[in-house]
Chain A
């Protein structure tokens, strides 16, 4: 069963982060009022095939869709674990009065947003628009998801897309870090003391 606290523990998981980028960008391009670059205001995202810009995850992408319209393809990169302590144990407190053991470890992750159009100049504009949107709301996103860091790391060069060579693409990479915490509750109450007199007798 999905409880609210269980959902909060998954806030920075790969699936949630992928959905976050997809949702933010779809909402941003849903209205020309939100788009800062005037040359991109005709790229209105709509649900369905009639959209002017494709915003989708890599595993739902089809090359023929991007050949027809500009697109932003979201792809998750590798996550890396960085240990905070020996055995992922929190130093203070390691075991509380109820006998619960507390652990924590940190994760570094990144997503790359491929901005794809059939024009080099439009690719530059699109990747700049994506970068400005995510940089502008970086601190809001970081605080809402309780992340350690959230930043747009780099905008790659405009390149030719190997999979569809009539298109230009530029990668925008966003990185983030978060701490994953959990507790292990013992199945039986913690042993308070041992009666030595009972053993001697």
Chain B
């Protein structure tokens, strides 16, 4: 094949364009508490062993992780009751019994 000057010349070398770095898994560059929903978790290995779903495993507001998956303590559908803080208001008793006007 005739070598015609000016044709089929390889293009001068150009450095490759700067490309954005490959996307990293989202759990790497996000704060761990955002990924798992637990601000208390600081050990990555411990966090990876936990389910990554939010909500149900988070427990009550301000709660801790110790109740997760062990008994009814982690059930967000049930209210809490405390024997220490329990009190039945006397006004409610009087009204319910119809004796408040005595």
Chain A residues with CB under 8 Å of chain B are 58, 61, 73, 75, 77-80, 82-84, 106, 108-110, 112, 114, 118, 120, 148-149, 151, 153-154, 156-163, 165-169, 171, 173, 175, 177
Q: Is B94 a contact partner of A75 (Cβ separation < 8 A)?
A: no
Chain B residues with CB under 8 Å of chain A are 67, 70-73, 75, 78-91, 93-94, 96-97, 99-100, 102
Q: Is A166 a contact partner of B72 (Cβ separation < 8 A)?
A: yes
Chain A proximity of B67: nearest CB distance (Å): 6
Q: Is B94 a contact partner of A73 (Cβ separation < 8 A)?
A: no
Chain A proximity of B69: nearest CB distance (Å): 12
Cα–Cα, bound, A121→B84 (Å): 24
Instruction: Given the known inter-chain contacts A84-B102, A106-B102, please indicate yes or no for A77 contacting B87, CB distance below 8 A.
Output: yes
Q: Is A160 a contact partner of B78 (Cβ separation < 8 A)?
A: yes
Q: Closest 8 CB pairs between A and B?
A: A165-B73, A80-B90, A166-B71, A159-B81, A162-B82, A77-B88, A82-B102, A159-B79
CB-defined A-B contacts under 8 Å, sample of 18: A77-B88, A80-B93, A84-B102, A106-B99, A108-B97, A153-B96, A153-B97, A156-B81, A158-B78, A159-B79, A159-B81, A161-B83, A162-B82, A162-B85, A165-B71, A166-B71, A175-B96, A177-B99
Chain A residues within an 8 Å CB radius of B81: 114, 156, 159-162, 169, 171
Q: Is B84 a contact partner of A163 (Cβ separation < 8 A)?
A: yes
Instruction: Given the known inter-chain contacts A160-B73, A175-B97, please indicate yes or no for A75 contacting B86, CB distance below 8 A.
Output: yes
Chain B proximity of A170: nearest CB distance (Å): 8
List 4 additional A-B contacts (Cβ < 8 Å) besides A82-B102, A160-B75, A160-B78: A149-B97, A153-B96, A163-B83, A177-B97
Chain B residues within an 8 Å CB radius of A165: 67, 71-73
Among candidates A75, A82, A157, residue contacting B83 with C-beta atoms closer than 8 Å:
A75
Chain B residues within an 8 Å CB radius of A120: 72, 78
Q: Is A166 a contact partner of B73 (Cβ separation < 8 A)?
A: yes
Chain B residues within an 8 Å CB radius of A168: 72, 78
